[in-house]
Structure 1
Amino acid sequence: MTLSVNAHRLQRIAEIVRREIEEENIPGAVVAVGRGEDTAYFEAFGYAENVNGLTRQMTKETVFDLASLTKVTATLPAVLSLVDDGDIRLNDPVALFIPEFTDASKGVVTVRHLLTHSAGLVPSRLFYELFNTPEAITAAIRREGIGITPGVRTEYSDIGFMLLGEIVKAVSGLSLDQFASERVFTQLGMSDTMFCPPPSTFARIAATEHGKVGIVHDENAEALGGVSGHAGLFASMADLISYVGMWLGHKPLLSFAVRRLAVQNHTPSLPGNRGLGWVCRHDAYDHTGDLWPETTVGHTGFTGTSLAFDPASGLWMIILTNDVHYGRQKKAVIRLRHRLHNVAASAIRWE
Structure 2
Amino acid sequence: MMKKLLLSALLLCISSEARCEFPESLRRTLDSMIRESLHEKAFPGASLAIGNRDGILYARQYGTHDYSGECPVTAKSLFDLASCTKVLSVTFAAMRLYDEGRIHVLDPTGKYLPELSETPIGDISLRELLTHTSGLPPQVLYTPLVRNAEGGRMFSNKKSEAYPYRVGTDYYVAHHVAFDTLLLSRTPQAGWRQGADRLYVNPAVDTLLLRQIAGAYKPDRRGSYSYSDSNFLLLKMILERVSGRSLDALTEELFAELGCENTCYNPLQCHDKGDCMPTETDHILDRQTVQGYVHDELAALMGGVGGNAGLFSTAEDVARFCQMTLNGGRHADRQIVSSKTLDLFVSSPYAKENIWRGLGFDKRNPETDPLGGRQCFGHTGFTGTIFWIDAEAGIYMVLLTNAVHPTRLNNKLSSSRLRTRIWETLKPYYPALAARSSAERDGCD
Q: TM-score, normalised by structure 2?
A: 0.72
Q: Which residue of 2 aligns with 1:303?
A: 383
8 A contact 1:30–1:320 mirrored in 2: yes
Q: Which residue of 2 aligns with 1:330?
A: 410
Per the alignment, in what secondary structure is the counterpart of residue 243 of structure 1?
A: helix
1:112-261 correspondence to structure 2 within 5 Å? 112-127=127-142, 129-130=144-145, 132=184, 133-143=201-211, 144-145=213-214, 146-149=217-220, 151-182=222-253, 184-198=254-268, 200-210=271-281, 211-249=289-327, 250-251=330-331, 252-261=335-344
Per the alignment, in what secondary structure is the counterpart of residue 278 of structure 2?
A: coil
CA distance in 2, matches of 1:3, 1:114: 43
Deviations 1:276-325 (A, max 9, x none): 111112289x9xx6376442001011111111112222110001000001
Task: Pick which of 203-212 and 257-266 moved more.
Answer: 203-212
Larger radius of gyration: 2
What is the deviation of 1:168?
0.8
CA distance in 2, matches of 1:326, 1:82: 38
CA distance in 2, matches of 1:58, 1:188: 23
What is the deviation of 1:198?
2.0
Q: Which residue of 2 aligns with 1:346?
A: 428
CA distance in 1, matches of 2:128, 2:77: 35
Q: Which residue of 1 aligns with 2:60?
A: 43
What is the deviation of 1:151?
4.4
Per the alignment, in what secondary structure is the counterpart of residue 410 of structure 2?
A: coil
Per the alignment, in what secondary structure is the counterpart of residue 319 of structure 1?
A: strand
Structure 2: runs of 5 or more not aligned: 1-18, 146-182, 185-200, 282-288, 436-445
- 1:16 is aligned to 2:41: no
Change (3 A) 1:125 1:104: closer
Post-superposition, which runs of at least 4 consecutive aligned residues in structure 1 deviate over 6 A?
none
Change (3 A) 1:40 1:257: same
Q: Which residue of 1 aligns with 2:187?
A: none
8 A contact 1:291–1:345 mirrored in 2: no
Deviations 1:115-151 (A, max 9, x none): 1111111111222643534422222344422223464
Q: Match for 1:195: what amino acid?
A: Y
- 1:64 is aligned to 2:79: yes
Per the alignment, in what secondary structure is the counterpart of residue 324 of structure 1?
A: coil
Per the alignment, in what secondary structure is the counterpart of residue 397 of structure 2?
A: strand
Per the alignment, in what secondary structure is the counterpart of residue 399 of structure 2?
A: strand
Q: Which residue of 1 aligns with 2:42?
A: 25
CA distance in 2, matches of 1:283, 1:118: 19
Picking from 48, 55, 66, the partner of 2:70 is: 55
% identical aligned pairs: 31
Q: TM-score, normalised by structure 1?
A: 0.91
**What's the Cα RMSD here?**
2.3
Change (3 A) 1:342 1:157: same
CA distance in 2, matches of 1:283, 1:103: 39
What is the deviation of 1:260?
0.7
Picking from 74, 78, 82, the partner of 2:89 is: 74
Change (3 A) 1:139 1:22: same
Change (3 A) 1:270 1:73: same
Q: Match for 1:59: what amino acid?
A: T
Change (3 A) 1:43 1:84: same
Structure 1: runs of 5 or more not aligned: none
Q: Which residue of 2 aligns with 1:262?
A: 345
Q: Match for 2:424: what amino acid?
A: N
Change (3 A) 1:20 1:34: same
Per the alignment, in what secondary structure is the counterpart of residue 15 of structure 1?
A: helix
Picking from 9, 34, 39, the partner of 2:51 is: 34
Change (3 A) 1:126 1:292: closer
Per the alignment, in what secondary structure is the counterpart of residue 71 of structure 2?
A: strand
